[in-house]
Chains A and B, each alone.
Chain A
Amino acid sequence: MRRAALIFVLLQAILFPSNAQNDVRLMLDADFSSILIREQAPAGANGCEKASYEIYKQLTGRDFYDPPNYMFLRQAVDTIGFFPAVLATLDRIVRDSKIGTATVMLDPDDPVIHEGPEAYLWRRAGAGRPMVRRAATAAARMDVAGALAGGRSAPARWVSKDFDFVEYLIDNELKTDARALLFQDYNPSDTLTFLRGWTLYQLKDLEPAYGYLRAVPSSSAFFEKSLFYSTAVSAHLGDYNTPVAPLESYSGRYSELKDMQLAGLALLRDDPSGYKKSSASFGYSDFAIADAERKLDQIYRQRYEDKSKSPLLAAAASAVVPGLGKIYAGNIGEGIASFLIVGALGAITAEHWVKDGPQNWKTIVPGIACAGFYIGNIYGSYMSVSIVNNDIRNAQNTTVLYNIHIPLRSVFK
């Protein structure tokens, strides 16, 4: 026995160095380079672009718009074509000014405006952008049989015995522990499938959560909760069609909740007749969902009954008074910046025209700049209204998502 203990201690000493030694090694080998603030021109920038980046830093103090204008132009040419890209960049230079960004509320943790050329693409398309790219949902099509088969290889015990423990872990913000526990060897069951989906949902790992929640069969005690939560998860993933059929086939006691979710999905799909049909059975009497029903009605009225702003009117206004179209769109700072910059360049051009004549380079250079910014201002105003409309639509979609999701917490306490 002594010999066995001796071998054990020796093996441990060889293979596992003492804790103190381990700690010292950890302390000395730590790497904190990732938390340093670094400034360097974006990867792939050429010499001219690097110089432009350095000048930009001196003129603005820091990277404010991301990507910088020169990168934006390069990307925009590839995305929306040469002339729209030039106009979009000229408009962006004006919006990038101190006055242009004065009315923008920035996130203190991320004080940068992130806007790539795709924003212009959305503006041009004029259609509501889904909150989450639809492509993401392709991965969410989880094999239901696969979800049910989890843990089948080595059956060990039933998860129902650990149900309270899992709840304790989730309630105490130990969700990663709950996930580690549930993906151990348990006998396959509806409860296990539900708990896995529920834990992944709590961890905001929505794609696999959707697969598990959808896999809970209608005979399960957790079916209703899984059905309504999987609908909300699917909507958050940008898929507004798939949950419709399972919801419509549901005929249990939560029929008003079902209609509320169907109405929300119809709004997200931009289907006013679908909304009318589903909202006809709103009762406004269930405390848990009455507010959500009223909110959905309000969004329906705003979207389909109230007038939205016209991009053409904005462009015309900016053609008459530079920046007026942007003020009409609601971007006061951008409007004032456009007016000042186009006005200043116009005044400079006029002065040189009077004193040096129209063919002097001192007239031609500011004249070309003024014309570029003027046309960019008209183009930007047209796009500003489109993007404001899109922003309103996105905000409405966010509200719909909230209202078909959050009341579930009160319903399924």
Chain B
Amino acid sequence: MLRTRLFCTISIFLCALYSSSAQSLESQAVAYERIIYDGAPLQEVNEALVAKADCYQQLGRYKEAAATLGRVRMFALEPEERTRVMYKQELCWYLSGDFAQAASVVSEVEADSDEILLLHALVLAYAGRYDESELYAARYISRDGESPHLAALLKLYEGHPQPRRETASMLLSLLPPAGHIYNGACGEGLLSAGLNAGSIAFTVANLLGGYWITGIVGGAIALNYTVMGNQERNIALVQKYNHNSPIEFGDKLRRFLMELE
């Protein structure tokens, strides 16, 4: 009898092991959906949705996992279960790279465990909410008492990127290469300043030489490209920086925490 049960237990275990293949996980997801379709009670519907989201998560289809968790009827859950579901949803949004969606869930997930602290810290860092992220990150590394790495973490956050303003960049671009320097692109700034200086020199030299048409018409065309191009380039640089800098800071934080693990 004991041998039979042992055989059954190992068989179930092997089935679980086998079921990690992509095709089987997809089939499992469909099987969970069928439970919902068959009109299961609310509690079972929620369980099926969570299990289905887990299948998607294992398949790396994080957006679908987060969307499936969004279908969970939260009112029918206990507060603790609700926290776990919201945490999973936040995790899936984070893994799918949708940090704004992930950050919108943070306030609803109580940080009562290490992994939630870590997730909040990362999500808020990638979303550009550095002050809130710093608190969670500090709590995470101090989970077993005061951490010797706290000072290094605080130093990392001291250097967090500040969002840049398009208006400031555009106004500074009137004095090339000030706009580029503001955006940290000194090499490009020198090139732009050179092009602007060249077009101004062309205009002035022609006007002084008595070539009025060449000076006015040619100069207008050249300056139209160099001055306006400079302004548009500066706006593009601000947009690029504001998009990339939170992601780069988040990567830095991730590497820092990874070294501690």
Contact = CB atoms under 8 A, between A and B. Distances in A.
Contact of B114 (A5, A24, A30, A174): A24
A28 B261 contact: yes
B136 interface: no
Majority SS of interface residues in chain B? helix
A32 B118 contact: no
A57 B64 CA distance: 38
Interface in B177-223: 188, 191-192, 195, 210-214, 217-218, 221
Contacts of A77: none
A133 B57 CA distance: 36
B15 interface: no
A11 B15 CA distance: 13
B9 A4 contact: yes
A176 B211 CA distance: 70
A1 B231 CA distance: 76
Given A4-B6, A54-B188, A27 B214 contact: no
B115 A3 contact: no
- Chain B, interface size category, equals 35 or more
B131 to A, nearest CB: 20
Contact of B225 (A4, A59, A351): A59
Interface residues of A, number: 49
A134 interface: no
A5 B5 CA distance: 9
Nearest to A64: B232
A11 B247 contact: no
Nearest to B257: A28
A32 B97 CA distance: 7
A26 B225 CA distance: 48
A169 interface: yes
Contacts of B213: 347-348, 350-351
A348 B215 CA distance: 9
A61 B217 contact: no
Interface in A131-184: 165, 168-169, 174, 176-177, 180-181, 184
Contacts of A168: 37
Given A7-B9, A98-B224, 17 more contacts: A4-B9, A7-B10, A12-B13, A20-B114, A26-B91, A27-B254, A28-B118, A36-B248, A39-B240, A61-B231, A62-B236, A98-B228, A169-B30, A180-B26, A341-B221, A351-B213, A351-B214
4 smallest A-B Cβ distances: which pairs?
A61-B232, A180-B26, A59-B229, A4-B6
